[in-house]
Amino acid sequence: MSGIRDRVAIIGVGCTKFGEIWEKDQEDLLVEAAYEALDDAGMTPEDVDAVWVSNFFNFTGQSGGTAIEPLALFGKPATRVENFCASGMDAFRNACFAVASGVYDVVLVCGVEKILDQGARGLPQESYHPVFQGASAPGMFALAASRAFHEWGWTKEDLARVAVKNHKNGAAHPKAHFRRPITLEDALSAPMIAWPLGRYDCCAVSDGAAALVITRPEIAKDTRHKDDYVLVKANALAVYSIQPFYVGSYDWLGFPATRAAARMAYEEAGIRDPRKEISLAEVHDCFTSTELFNIGDLGLVEDPKDAPKFVADGLADVEGEVAINPSGGLKCFGHPIGATGCRMLYEVTKQLQGRADGYQVRDPRYGLAHNLGGPGAVASVTILARRD
Amino acid sequence: MKAGILSYGAYIPFYRISRAEMGKAWGIPSLPGERAVANRDEDSLTMAIEAGLEALVGIDPASVDAVFFCSTTPPYAEKQCASIAALALDLRPEVYTADFTGTTRAATVALRAALDAVESGSARRVLVIAGDSRPGEPQTTWEQLLGDAGAAVLVDAEAPARVSGWASMVSEVVGPWRRPQDRYVRSFEPKLETEYGYVRATAQACRAVLEKCGLEPSQFFRAALYSPDLRSVADVARQAGLDRSQLQDPLLMTVGNAGAAHALLVLAAALDQAQEGQRLLLANYGDGADALVLELEGPLPRPQGRRSVAQYLASKRDLPGYGAFAAMRNLADRPEPRVHSSPVTYWRDVAVELRWHGARCLACGVVQYPIPRVCRECNARDNFQEVKLSRRGTVFTYTLDHLYANEYLDTPIPRAVIDLEGGGRVFLEVTDCDPQEVRWGMTLETTFRRLHEGAEFHNYYWRARPVRE
């Protein structure tokens, strides 16, 4: 296996403002994000050889036409990718293969979701079987949080600290959904959504789109970002049971998909001590408890049950050891499902280039993006670094 | 006649409401006592099945040849319910199924058919299950009087509680009745319906069966009588020559009139107390009356784990008020949540959905649910033995989910990952409880419920509840 390391370069990124965007549809959002990325790359739509577009809900879009139609790129190859909430980073993964193989030179990766078109009461619940119905998204992740409360003694305060940190970061980011810092008290007194997860433990339900232009490094050398394009150091995807409720051996303490993807990605990138080598991580904090699990699953703490201490000690702050979600994360930046994976890569890319929209992490070396989908079932980990 | 009752079971829903609360809500007089209230995920069929499960405690379901479902409120106007019960009770595929509906007397109509079947030799063992949830019009005492319950008897060709005599009496009195377009039970003239309908026919049937058997009223341990209201059962007893002390508590102050399930429920309470050598009288009414004599010629099996009527009466929670009752009955006519479903998928998976079957991997031994093709633990392919899962387990993890079908619920729904006794991990909604009671390690048991109306059919499945003891 030759892997993807150093074979793909990100040369342009774009992202809309995330939020409840009632007056725009997915076409507006996708066009804005795609053109921002193309402008950033100094390219035009005609330069694009192929498109990968990610979205989850079928009311947002279906088929490659989700991107081709709004961009009027008729005749170009395009594929829609769906892999739960990890759809965005999986679209990126597939696009990387296309570029690395040499089949295409320049590929546009984009993700979009227009959740608010179905109302603002959480994610529309999907069920595919008469009786084997999952829970709501908070309900699914609460099953893991609940177990950590029981087994590891995690507390509501542990969760609240994650929300406070991410709100602080998001408040500084002009494109974030929520721009208001909160207090521990705010988080602790919020109404319950799915015990133990209260309203401030749940990420925003947002509309938005994000896009990236990728190519091979030898081509990147002749583009606008020739001096600061960002290299893909690793990209890994792992899929575990999408019905973990029925897996008797599952301990519900973290997500094995993340652990598997992280292991593969670290190996590919040559990272031995992630806590020392990773400067910042945009992780999938769909819920505050999930961020704590991610810290453990990504190996940023020795014992995963100590993740709350990592946050409480400020080690996850922008100035901390590993800045976790300097954008505000899903919690505060927002989570338009199909867009999130691309939005994470947008953020990490700009951080590595020293042009973050919000808080800038100082002298970052490696940046990590972690996208998680389903009931912790699908995990994608990407590691990026600026060119030498 | 050697045929009779081999086993029996009762079911009374967990929730009760005091009639005083109901009267107070409408500003009308209240009847005394309380009534049983089916939860919003229960109907006549689920309650009948719960009673059927009780009747089969300690008995191999494969030994049952036929199952008869009895109700005045079957959940389907067209579609049999006994066939659903046959699967939920995990009976053999060759089992004979029939529904008996349209009258509160349905359970003894079915019992007679069951006895005739075993007498004729067409079946050896027949399970009669009854459940009812009659709709009483709001702002009337009907609403207070009626109660929800289930009851079941297992009829066998040779049984310790032998049916030694039977008499029936036709009685064509219009009332009570309900046409397809009537939402609530109708009544024209209670005096006619009670005095010349119920009391006269039931007492006549009782006297007739005594005469047939050459028995005196004093020779009975108890009389289990259908009781449409709080008072008139005493008139039947008097006209039949029975002493009040022989009258089995008609459960009107605790359960209410349970329609087609009522007579068998009162009988179950009598059987709970009766001893070998004693004699019982059972009488049922609805457009005529049936009366029969039961001779307890042998000891009735009292298997561990089968709940008595007294246990069901004691295991209860009072609804906080009429609003909670109105919500359970959906008196506000709120539309059912739109849930995706498909009769095709439902049909394909009935073994895991209704029979509660899982599979044991023959390579690694791990019991799994739903039944996979490839073992989730050891990856062995198609190497499973289908097994019946336990109805009991402990909570591994849980949440209290306020979000359901894109609605925010003030009262959350507990959902629990449960490790079943004997293997298998399942994920069920927890019903019949205060959500705040749910804890890791708590013992739960499955209960058969109506989940939702996706694709506009009744999607039945199992939920979990705290063990009712």
Cβ of A131 within 8 Å of Cβ of B459? The answer is yes
Same domain membership, residue A216 and residue A197 = no
Same domain membership, residue B279 and residue B348 = no
Q: State the Cα–Cα distance between residues B212 and B202, nearest whole angstrom.
A: 15
pLDDT at residue A113 above 80? yes
For residue A164, the enclosing domain spans 137-203+233-386
Please give, rounded to a whole number of angstroms, the shortest distance from the CA of A355 to a CA of chain B.
39
pLDDT at A239: 98
pLDDT tens digit string along A6-42?
999 999 999 999 999 999 999 999 999 999 999 999 9
Taking the Cβ of residue A94 and every Cβ of chain B, the question of whether any pair is shorter than 8 Å is answered with no
Same domain membership, residue A154 and residue A114 = no
Same domain membership, residue B289 and residue B147 = yes
**For chain B, what is the mean pLDDT?**
96
Same domain membership, residue A312 and residue A210 = no
Cβ of A245 within 8 Å of Cβ of B398? The answer is no
**Which amino acid makes up residue B204?**
Q
What is the pTM for the complete model shown?
A: 0.96
> Does A291 reside within a domain?
yes
Which ipTM value was assigned to this complex? 0.95
pLDDT tens digit string along A304-348?
999 999 999 999 999 999 999 999 999 999 999 999 999 999 999
Taking the Cβ of residue A102 and every Cβ of chain B, the question of whether any pair is shorter than 8 Å is answered with no
> Does A195 reside within a domain?
yes
pLDDT tens digit string along A282-309?
999 999 999 999 999 999 999 999 999 9
CATH code at position B449:
2.40.50.840
> Does A126 reside within a domain?
no
Residue with tokens 């009389």: B223
CATH code at position A345:
3.40.47.10
Same domain membership, residue A149 and residue A53 = no
Chain B residues with at least one Cβ partner in A under 8 Å: 339-342, 345-346, 349, 353, 366-370, 376-377, 396-408, 412, 415, 417, 419, 423-427, 440, 451, 454-455, 459, 461
Best of A246, A286, A293 to substitute, by most chain B Cβ atoms within 10 angstroms, is: A246
Same domain membership, residue A276 and residue A190 = yes
For residue B270, the enclosing domain spans 4-328
Same domain membership, residue A148 and residue A89 = no
Same domain membership, residue B430 and residue B287 = no
> Does A338 reside within a domain?
yes
Same domain membership, residue B284 and residue B347 = no
Same domain membership, residue A142 and residue A40 = no
Same domain membership, residue B347 and residue B302 = no
Q: In B, which residues are within 8 Å of A192 by CB distance? A: 400, 402, 412
Same domain membership, residue A156 and residue A112 = no
Same domain membership, residue A161 and residue A31 = no
Cβ of A125 within 8 Å of Cβ of B376? The answer is no
Same domain membership, residue B152 and residue B299 = yes
> Does A44 reside within a domain?
yes
With CA atoms as reference, the chain B residue closest to A136 would be B403
Pick from B369, B399, B423: CB nearest A146: B399
CATH code at position B129:
3.40.47.10
pLDDT tens digit string along B390-426?
999 999 999 999 998 778 898 999 999 999 999 999 9
Same domain membership, residue A167 and residue A308 = yes
Please, are residues A352 and A367 in contact by the beta-carbon 8 Å criterion?
yes
Domain count, chain B: 2
Give me the percent of chain A exceeding a pLDDT of 70. 100
pLDDT tens digit string along B263-272?
999 999 999 9
As a three-state string, the secondary structure of chain A is: CCCCCCCCEEEEEEECCCECCCCCCHHHHHHHHHHHHHHHHCCCHHHCCEEEEECCCCCCCCCCHHHHHHHCCCCCCEEEECECECHHHHHHHHHHHHHHCCCCCCEEEEEEEEHHHHCCCCCCCCCCCCCCCCCCHHHHHHHHHHHHHHHHCCCHHHHHHHHHHHHHHHHCCCCCCCCCCCCHHHHHCCCEEEECEEHHHECCCCEEEEEEEEECHHHHCCCCCCCCCEEEEEEEEEECCCCHHHCCCCCCCCCHHHHHHHHHHHHHHCCCCHHHHEEEEECCCCEHHHHHHHHHHCCCCCCHHHHHHHHHCCCCCCCCCCEECCCCHHHHHCCCHHHHHHHHHHHHHHHHCCCCCCCCCCCCCEEEEEEEECCCCEEEEEEEEECC
- CA angle, corner B122, sides to B277 and B158, nearest 5? 15
With CA atoms as reference, the chain A residue closest to B377 would be A249
Domain count, chain A: 2
Same domain membership, residue B311 and residue B421 = no
pLDDT tens digit string along B404-413?
877 889 899 9
Same domain membership, residue A212 and residue A183 = no
> Does A131 reside within a domain?
no
Same domain membership, residue A160 and residue A38 = no
Same domain membership, residue B312 and residue B351 = no
> Rounded to 10 degrees, what is the CA torsion of B304, B154, B284, B150?
60
